[in-house]
Amino acid sequence: MAAKTIFILNGPNLNLLGAREPEIYGADTLADIETACDAAAGAAGFAADFRQSNTEGTLVDWVQEANAKAAGLIINPGAYTHTSIALLDALTAANIAKIELHLSNIHAREEFRQRSVTAAAVDGVIMGFGAAGYILAVEALKSLLQKRSA
Strand partners, 101: 126
Residue-wise DSSP of 29-51: -HHHHHHHHHHHHHHTTEEEEEE
Is 102 designated active site? yes
Exposed, middle or buried, 88 (CB in 10 Å: 0-12/13-18/19+)? buried
Spot the catalytic one: 80, 102, 107, 134: 102
> 12: which DSSP letter?
T
61: Cβ–Cβ under 8 A, 6 or more apart, which residues?
Answer: none
Spot the catalytic one: 25, 80, 82, 134: 25
What is the set of active-site residues?
A: 25, 102
